[in-house]
Amino acid sequence: MQRGDGRNFNQLRPITITPGFQSFAEGSVLIEQGKTRVICSVSMEDKVPQFLRNSGTGWVTAEYSMLPRSTVTRTQRDSSAGKISGRSQEIQRLIGRSLRSCVDLAALGERSFIIDCDVIQADAGTRTASITGAYIALYLAFKKMVDMGILSKMPFTSQVAAVSVSIFKGNIVLDPCYDEDFQAEVDFNLVMNDRAEFVEIQGTAEGKTFSRDTLDQVLKLGEAGIWQLFDIQNSITRP
Amino acid sequence: MQRGDGRNFNQLRPITITPGFQSFAEGSVLIEQGKTRVICSVSMEDKVPQFLRNSGTGWVTAEYSMLPRSTVTRTQRDSSAGKISGRSQEIQRLIGRSLRSCVDLAALGERSFIIDCDVIQADAGTRTASITGAYIALYLAFKKMVDMGILSKMPFTSQVAAVSVSIFKGNIVLDPCYDEDFQAEVDFNLVMNDRAEFVEIQGTAEGKTFSRDTLDQVLKLGEAGIWQLFDIQNSITRP
Amino acid sequence: MQRGDGRNFNQLRPITITPGFQSFAEGSVLIEQGKTRVICSVSMEDKVPQFLRNSGTGWVTAEYSMLPRSTVTRTQRDSSAGKISGRSQEIQRLIGRSLRSCVDLAALGERSFIIDCDVIQADAGTRTASITGAYIALYLAFKKMVDMGILSKMPFTSQVAAVSVSIFKGNIVLDPCYDEDFQAEVDFNLVMNDRAEFVEIQGTAEGKTFSRDTLDQVLKLGEAGIWQLFDIQNSITRP
Amino acid sequence: MQRGDGRNFNQLRPITITPGFQSFAEGSVLIEQGKTRVICSVSMEDKVPQFLRNSGTGWVTAEYSMLPRSTVTRTQRDSSAGKISGRSQEIQRLIGRSLRSCVDLAALGERSFIIDCDVIQADAGTRTASITGAYIALYLAFKKMVDMGILSKMPFTSQVAAVSVSIFKGNIVLDPCYDEDFQAEVDFNLVMNDRAEFVEIQGTAEGKTFSRDTLDQVLKLGEAGIWQLFDIQNSITRP
Amino acid sequence: MQRGDGRNFNQLRPITITPGFQSFAEGSVLIEQGKTRVICSVSMEDKVPQFLRNSGTGWVTAEYSMLPRSTVTRTQRDSSAGKISGRSQEIQRLIGRSLRSCVDLAALGERSFIIDCDVIQADAGTRTASITGAYIALYLAFKKMVDMGILSKMPFTSQVAAVSVSIFKGNIVLDPCYDEDFQAEVDFNLVMNDRAEFVEIQGTAEGKTFSRDTLDQVLKLGEAGIWQLFDIQNSITRP
Amino acid sequence: MQRGDGRNFNQLRPITITPGFQSFAEGSVLIEQGKTRVICSVSMEDKVPQFLRNSGTGWVTAEYSMLPRSTVTRTQRDSSAGKISGRSQEIQRLIGRSLRSCVDLAALGERSFIIDCDVIQADAGTRTASITGAYIALYLAFKKMVDMGILSKMPFTSQVAAVSVSIFKGNIVLDPCYDEDFQAEVDFNLVMNDRAEFVEIQGTAEGKTFSRDTLDQVLKLGEAGIWQLFDIQNSITRP
């Protein structure tokens, strides 16, 4: 099967990473995956949520938002609506959990690392691109803190990346673009670490369903994509 | 392995269904799964969301909330906070998608069926119990509409139920209770239909991860549980 | 006069009390008064509102809410509206004042007792049933605290209960059900204690008015009803 | 008993009415009752709430608010808090009901009359002064509409006024000022019309209670005060 | 040119100042400028915003609001909308900055002075009248604090007042009233101190623009008006 | 005087314009002015605000927001605060007015053009850079609409740009960067069109003031800067 944009079913979109995109941040990247573009920036704060006070342990959390005209037709700002949309909340909780899975929180001391993922352009896969980019931004922030002597060593316990897989017109395709995603029967988001373990799997069917057999193929295809993403991340973090 | 409450790893908690619990609703059940208790009630409205106007097609949606003292310590009301919590939104979106997967929306006409899931007591598994119970409440509502001649036939395309599986102290356990869930390393929610297809799978690790092999065992265990839930649903809907 | 449901003008609806309905709460009842059903649950917190800090004195407060499908047609959730409705606020302030009238707050220490009244089904009289039920739930909570040695003695200074009286088609009727309440010309809520004193009286006419003579009859009828409610409360608290 | 400000127990505070205080309004007064000062202004709008559309019937409603420094220490604005306080909502609902009790809504056509009651200075009795003043403001607005030919005749069915009575240091006092109200054991608000009927009675005890005998004295004292208020209203409306 | 209300182009509207209008406030005036009427009241609080804690320095801030029927047609309350309107925020920030320009904040100690400007009637120029009035209210509040020994000396570094100038039908007019303001091509707000320095200038054209030459004339005309306002302020503060 | 970044007092920072930055928008640029970077994107909607319905006239409006880590330390999102900050509202109102000053709204038909200005990096002058960039984005959007035949001709009546001028350590400097702006005594924002007319002038002193003579120098310096900005705009719009 040839896809609309010429890719094979198992091919990622071209990925470009620009480190240091927001130069005031402790760590920052612009990740471009096809036409999808997300700014991931990390801020360190010398405080932790209530439930961690006096625990000696730190925290990693995320916020996710889309610029109004990241989308094909303009989307109202959450701030105009006066609240964060359910979709945004769901995504930022996912990003936070995914990144916490690869960090030794105790090694952070009582500090919070806030990852802001702001979507400049949304051509599908913004949540998985956010996770893949957030890992690099967090790496850069940790690196700076180690260089400044604030952290004694890099607190990562593994490397993490994420990818989408869709079933589109009956075919299983890796890293769908908007046209494929919009018409997808089923949509999967896979988050994995470099020990080949799953951090999160979500399989969501709006109106459709999927068999066990399909799931097996999806997981295999997604895993292959994630190993490519690890290489791309490493080209920035271990050049 | 013997579990804290004496169950085997592959055993559901005792389930009791009370149909007609909120007697004003078009359809309603109280579902009790161990100490977890959820009221699921269905309301029909003669209007649809904006994006379906003049489409001739109907809609099924859900709202989820917990009573403040459904939990071991009191939880603040969403209405006091002035907004619906991220967790509640995530869950009600899941319930809505799950139920839409088993309904022929075109057969509803331009009508909405709103499923309210209100948790009276939360001893883990409230979202999956909500889905299992919501199916019955929706069945009862559809039945009433068919009996009244408002719908010409039952608009279900399949039967749907959901179950949780956790990894607790390294063991895979079906339908965890609060003590197991609270300390779980990884938490899975599986939604399936009676054609043995998946509607939704979510595997979430807060701080931990899981292997492909583990996932396979989880899916197998969950599926077995869901077939038992279908039987329990049928004892009410096809007595 | 024979009423629609066969009761005499001076007859309460059948009342059922289920103690321990929400088992995690310090005290809890389900009170059913005809088709009206309210869960009253009490939570203790080791803090008091700002104005009582360092006073050594405790507090009793209440929150009131209706499940969306407690009503004949579905009512939107306060949390969806983003604020507590004026009616809910008015009622929860009334419940709080009524219960504080019968408690020696100084005897609580710097602790708050929060009474959650959640209406499962609303067939009129939900605010008065909430007060009557809240007294029992608070009794059970205080009892547990005394048994645990947290309170040295029961801090009640009196017993409190409440009832509605309506003027319906020119007749004065005790404890109106929905049909009577909906068409009532005037609506009274009476809260009394077991020293035959009034804690609160509210007489509200939407579009109608009432004479002094009518008021006298209302008070007499209501008081008689409240003494019956005291007996019902005592059947649970002093079995 | 001599009161702190020299009044007898059955004496109102001096009352001054300034009609036309907000000159853009359809009707407006500044009512001063002792140090309490409230601006009541009426606005007419050519629309009615949803539930009255196409009914041919009009509506009267009220909004109540306090200026931040109407109080002895500054009170935060409702707009800063982002919502109307429970107390304000309770009061504005009371004002609305009270004024609707004396108006033939059908005679208004599909028009709304909104009464804004803004407290400039709060020395107790702001809700009852609001009702007494609102009647005059509404009279002035109706008069203007009759003069302009928009209404064919004055739509009042009665005259309405309101007064507070408190139990203060064991004495029953009419129209308490702040010092008396603040320390009051029990607080009553009485709304009556000029047919000597009650529109609303509220007896509220924060921590105290009251006997039937006390209530009888309160009603008698309040009624005498209200007849004086009718005369004061008439000095403006029927000079 | 003769103006609609008979004034010359360089003439202020008649101004009346009533000190002590809200008698509970530390300082208060009612300022009437033509039909525009604003209550300015100052409250002192023994705390400062977060960024000034432990700085030994005080703060002056303002809040601005309009009564619903200050305007020709009724304006919805900010509290009903659930937020402060953009216009109100813009104005209250301007008032705060203007008053801070003439106060030695360090001389206040860690205290806040909150200036509430509430518009009773809006016939144009409410923001400039608020500033002119706020100066007097703040003077009165400071005077009281000096008299009570809380402040050691008057903390003013200058005197401040403000005026509007509009271009209306091609003419430059001082202190426009509503009819002139509503149809104005360009609207200027000037805030100056008694050292003939500018504190703030705003020139705003909704749809129109203005030349450098026009600006020069506006500034000259406005400055002349402001010197008259200083005299009026002094008639209250240095009688 | 040599400035910290080597510029002369009358020198703009280097400016880079990237047209088409958000490719889904009707018109879009990334404007970089020194380290300040703003995305300006224009969306067309086939509806107008309430007050323009059935007028045949269109509207131009703006929204302004900063990414959390556009600033040196992280700024909380407006959406987390649940409302748009006063500063953001003030700025977006300014941008809207400025752009409306150069457009023939009647020529738009009943269409709205919404300009989203999102600050990626804030090194001072974000509001003026937003206006300068918004003109180009709006030009590109209008051009596309003309090319598509939706508009019959370009609806601009003039060209508009904006610049800041600050007084910093007693010197008047054009286009201050963050270090200069942060410590500025007085801050001016000038908006002009290519007929050498002012659209808006704002001079704001936080704690300081300025003389008439200073103002004259500021206006002269700012105007010279704006003519350079017109050239830069034209290099994109009339290449």
pLDDT recorded at residue F84: 82
Handedness of CA B69, B71, B75, B80 (dihedral sign): negative
Given C86, C203, C205, which is nearest D93 (Cβ)?
C86
pLDDT recorded at residue A1: 63
- Say which range, A112-126, D57-71, F69-83, has the weakest mean pLDDT: F69-83
Structure confidence by residue, pLDDT tens digits, B212-222: 999 999 999 99
Asked whether the beta carbons of E26 and E144 are under 8 A apart, the reply is: yes
Asked whether the beta carbons of C52 and B69 are under 8 A apart, the reply is: no
Q: CB–CB of F120 and A80 under 8 A? A: no
* pLDDT class of F181 with cuts at 50, 70, 90: confident
Cα E208 to chain centroid distance, Å, stands at 25
Handedness of CA F187, F193, F195, F199 (dihedral sign): negative
Q: Is F52 on the interface with E (CB under 8 A)?
A: no
Integer Cα distance of A180 and C196 in angstroms: 74
H or E element, residue E212? helix E212-237
Asked whether the beta carbons of E48 and E122 are under 8 A apart, the reply is: no
Which amino acids of B are annotated as binding site for phosphate, given as ranges?
87, 125-127
Asked whether the beta carbons of B82 and D82 are under 8 A apart, the reply is: yes
Structure confidence by residue, pLDDT tens digits, C169-181: 889 999 999 888 8
pLDDT recorded at residue A231: 97
* pLDDT class of B2 with cuts at 50, 70, 90: confident
Structure confidence by residue, pLDDT tens digits, F121-157: 999 999 999 999 999 999 999 999 999 999 999 999 9
* pLDDT class of C182 with cuts at 50, 70, 90: confident
pLDDT higher at B238 or E145 = E145
- Say which range, C129-133, C151-155, C183-187, has the weakest mean pLDDT: C183-187
* pLDDT class of A232 with cuts at 50, 70, 90: very high
DSSP assignment string, C101-131 = TTB-GGGG-S-EEEEEEEEEE-SS-HHHHHH
Q: CB–CB of D86 and C93 under 8 A? A: yes
Q: Is B92 on the interface with C (CB under 8 A)?
A: no
* pLDDT class of D83 with cuts at 50, 70, 90: confident
Touching D: E residues 162-181, CB under 8 Å:
none
**Residue C87 annotated as binding site:** yes
Q: Is this complex scored with an ipTM above 0.85?
A: yes
E121 CB burial (10 A radius; 0-12, 13-18, 19+) = buried
- Tokens 């691109």 locate to A129
Average pLDDT over chain A reads 94
- Residue F207 tokens read as 């704690």
Measured between beta carbons, which residues in chain D are less than 8 angstroms from residue E22?
67, 69-70, 120-121
Q: Is F152 on the interface with E (CB under 8 A)?
A: no
Integer Cα distance of D97 and D127 in angstroms: 12
Cα C71 to chain centroid distance, Å, stands at 18
* pLDDT class of D86 with cuts at 50, 70, 90: confident
Given E39, E43, E74, which is nearest D74 (Cβ)?
E43
pLDDT recorded at residue F85: 85
Structure confidence by residue, pLDDT tens digits, B178-205: 888 888 889 999 999 999 999 999 998 8
pLDDT recorded at residue D1: 62
The C-alpha R_g of chain A, in whole angstroms, comes to 18
The mean per-residue pLDDT over the stretch D176-191 comes to: 89
Instruction: End-to-end CA distance of chain F: give it in Å, rounded.
Output: 35
The mean per-residue pLDDT over the stretch D106-130 comes to: 97
The mean per-residue pLDDT over the stretch C224-237 comes to: 97
Q: Is C45 on the interface with B (CB under 8 A)?
A: yes
pLDDT at E60 over 70: yes
Closest CA relative to residue D36, chosen from D132, D150, D148: D132
Name the residue of chain B whose CA is nearest to A192's CA.
Answer: B209
Asked whether the beta carbons of C199 and C191 are under 8 A apart, the reply is: yes
Q: Is A182 on the interface with B (CB under 8 A)?
A: no
Mutation target vs B (from A85, A204, A213; most B CBs, 10 A cutoff): A204
Closest CA relative to residue C177, chosen from C64, C70, C36: C36
* pLDDT class of B84 with cuts at 50, 70, 90: confident
Structure confidence by residue, pLDDT tens digits, D221-234: 999 999 999 999 99
- Residue D145 tokens read as 């509409």
Closest CA relative to residue E32, chosen from E146, E136, E147, E151: E136
Residues 6+ apart with CB under 8 A from A112: A44, A45, A47, A48, A49, A58, A59, A60, A61
Q: Is E52 on the interface with F (CB under 8 A)?
A: no
* pLDDT class of B1 with cuts at 50, 70, 90: low
* pLDDT class of A179 with cuts at 50, 70, 90: confident
pLDDT recorded at residue F1: 63
H or E element, residue F80? helix F78-81
Measured between beta carbons, which residues in chain A are less than 8 angstroms from residue F117?
none
Which amino acids of B are annotated as binding site, given as ranges?
87, 125-127
Cα E112 to chain centroid distance, Å, stands at 18
pLDDT higher at D2 or C93 = C93
pLDDT at B239 over 90: no
Cα A195 to chain centroid distance, Å, stands at 18
Helices (H), chain B: 78-81, 86-100, 126-147, 178-182, 212-237
Q: CB–CB of F93 and E90 under 8 A? A: yes
A79 CB burial (10 A radius; 0-12, 13-18, 19+) = buried
Average pLDDT over chain C reads 94
Residues 6+ apart with CB under 8 A from F169: F183
The mean per-residue pLDDT over the stretch D59-69 comes to: 97
Query: Which domains does chain E show, CATH number per domain?
Result: 15-237 (3.30.230.70)
pLDDT recorded at residue B202: 95
Handedness of CA E123, E124, E130, E132 (dihedral sign): negative
pLDDT recorded at residue C1: 62
Integer Cα distance of E43 and E53 in angstroms: 19
pLDDT recorded at residue E1: 62
H or E element, residue A88? helix A86-100
